[in-house]
């Protein structure tokens, strides 16, 4: 299997309260969030009394058959689709995590990464706690169970005050749904509503990492769960509390640059707007004389639309993506140069031949894929290839739920000119930090975490080795 030279998305979470087919809406919501994680998925449902669970490795549509969903029938459900950022990529770490505790049965699904999970886990294990997984999410479950607070919402608030880092959580008991975000608001979490139809007395309340999940299930976006907020939904009532004092907001700007789907509203802002603005700003900062603007599909498409609009250079799909590449494939015994990239992307010779091309992408991680794509376009007859990246060079690892290959970041070790030389482009330019913030609307409503571009982290830093997947540490 060829791994993509991209940052891997963190995870996606969804929650459904008060719907006769809650498990099916959770399944559809996870399907819309599949881009956020493709390793495992799970759903926990409740009929008001009993929690039922199913989780497996693989893609959402393959895991949840009609037969599986029929065994999950309930009026409440939470779901999770996962890419491993902490803990092995294995079924034992698939979420939601379901436990029986002194506070009753609870299930937890988590998007993000806790930077102090390792320290807390060591302390709890020394006191006799037994962990079933090596996922940082299980730390939250133990803290809830061990809290001296009497009610479940109070115990959750107590637990959340003890963890540090990025977390957007959906939690479920037999008859309630809870949703919470960390005080800095690193990861998105939106709340929506499906109006009650005839024969139903209650509106359905839904939560999801991105609003594109709402569109599929017919829910209207109402608002984001606020940083530091714990929302409790029960018996037709929504209550809210802030478990933490306010702190500087640090929402992940890469959600707008790359992770989120363009049709989502994230951090209260349309992702499509941000991406087009990134391209327009890039055209202002890094103009070039050329004949075509060509995106690297799919990640560079929206920024390329903006670059084309800002520069007046025609936009063309000069690279066609094969959407049906499986997880494994048979390579020819006689090696074909750049086979992995050719399997996924094919240049359109009739468009590219004899043309000066501006190639747009959202990032360069190791540079290996960019180098192959530049070679593909030259091989199709382009006379010049000018690479433009719709964010600044990524120089630092992320501690907040993004799988950043810290030792392989090309921009951490090479200058822009050295990267240009390595990938074989005629020119290379990145968007400036200020230009990126401007394009994504940083201001009174939103302030962003840009640590991966600056090395300035909003939380106390620990050794990255502590939060790497266990398989990587070994």
pLDDT single digits (tens) 51-73 = 999 999 999 999 999 999 999 99
pLDDT of residue 59: 94
Decide which of 444 and 59 is more confident. Answer: 59
Active site (catalytic) residues: 11
* pLDDT surpasses 80 at 292: yes
Q: Nearest to residue 255, comparing CAs of 28, 35, 86?
A: 35
- As a whole number, mean pLDDT of residues 287-309 equals 97
What distance in Å separates the CA atoms of residue 318 and residue 347, rounded to the nearest whole number?
6
- Under the banding of pLDDT at 50, 70 and 90, the label for residue 145 is very high
Say which residue, 426 or 398, is predicted with more confidence: 426
Q: How far apart are CA 190 and CA 188, in angstroms?
A: 7
**Confidence class of residue 474 from pLDDT cuts 50, 70 and 90?**
very low
The structural domains of the chain, ordered by start, are 11-250 (3.60.20.10), 273-325+337-446 (3.40.50.2020)
Is 95:82 a contact under the CB 8 Å cutoff? Answer: yes
pLDDT of residue 132: 87
Instruction: Answer for the pair 33, 210: CB distance below 8 angstroms, yes or no.
Output: yes
Q: Which of 4-18, 213-227, 358-372 has the lowest mean pLDDT?
A: 4-18
Please report, to the nearest 10 degrees, the dihedral formed by the alpha carbons of residues 441, 273, 369, 39 taken in order. 90
- How is residue 35 annotated by DSSP? G
Q: Which residues contact 462 (CB under 8 A, 6 or more apart)?
A: 115, 116, 118, 119, 399
Q: What pLDDT is recorded for position 387? A: 98
């Amino acid at each position: 299997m060829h791994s993509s030279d991209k940052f891997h998305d963190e995870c996606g979470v969804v929650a459904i309260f008060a719907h006769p087919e809650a498990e099916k809406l959770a399944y559809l919501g996870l399907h819309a969030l599949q881009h956020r994680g493709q390793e495992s998925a799970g759903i926990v449902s409740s009929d008001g009394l009993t929690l039922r669970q199913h989780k497996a490795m693989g893609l959402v549509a393959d895991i949840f058959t009609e037969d599986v969903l029929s065994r999950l029938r309930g009026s409440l459900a939470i779901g999770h689709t996962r890419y491993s950022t902490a803990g092995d990529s294995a079924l034992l770490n698939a979420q939601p995590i379901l436990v029986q505790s002194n506070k009753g049965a609870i299930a937890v699904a988590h998007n993000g990464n806790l930077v102090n999970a390792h320290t807390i886990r060591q302390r709890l294990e020394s006191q006799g706690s037994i962990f079933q997984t090596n996922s940082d999410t299980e730390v939250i479950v133990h803290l809830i169970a061990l809290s001296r607070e009497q009610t479940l919402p109070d115990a959750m608030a107590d637990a959340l005050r003890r963890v540090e880092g990025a977390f957007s959580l959906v939690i479920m008991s037999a008859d309630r749904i809870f949703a919470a975000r960390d005080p800095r608001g690193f990861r998105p979490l939106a709340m929506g509503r499906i109006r009650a139809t005839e024969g139903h007395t209650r509106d359905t309340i839904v939560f999801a990492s991105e609003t594109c999940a709402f569109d599929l299930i017919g829910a209207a976006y109402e608002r984001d769960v606020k940083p530091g907020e714990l929302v409790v939904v029960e018996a037709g009532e929504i209550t809210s509390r802030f478990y933490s004092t306010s702190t500087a907001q640090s929402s992940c700007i890469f959600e707008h640059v790359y992770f989120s789907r363009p049709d989502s509203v994230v951090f209260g802002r349309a992702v499509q707007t941000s991406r087009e603005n990134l391209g327009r700003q890039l055209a202002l900062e890094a103009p070039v004389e050329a004949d075509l603007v060509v995106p690297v599909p799919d990640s560079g498409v929206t920024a390329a639309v903006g670059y084309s609009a800002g520069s007046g250079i025609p936009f063309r799909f000069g690279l066609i993506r094969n959407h049906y590449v499986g997880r494994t494939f048979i390579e020819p015994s006689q090696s074909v140069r750049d086979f992995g990239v050719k399997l996924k992307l094919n240049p359109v010779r009739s468009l590219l031949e004899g043309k000066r091309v501006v190639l747009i992408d959202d990032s360069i991680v190791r540079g290996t894929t960019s180098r192959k794509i530049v070679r593909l376009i030259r091989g199709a007859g382009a006379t010049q290839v000018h690479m433009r990246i719709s964010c600044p060079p990524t120089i630092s690892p992320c501690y907040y739920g993004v799988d950043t290959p810290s030792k392989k970041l090309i921009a951490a070790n090479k200058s822009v000119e050295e990267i240009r030389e390595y990938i074989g482009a005629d020119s290379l330019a990145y968007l400036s930090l200020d230009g990126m913030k401007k394009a994504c609307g940083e201001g009174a409503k939103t302030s962003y975490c840009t640590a991966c571009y600056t090395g300035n982290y909003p939380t106390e830093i620990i050794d990255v080795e502590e939060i790497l997947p266990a398989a990587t540490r070994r």
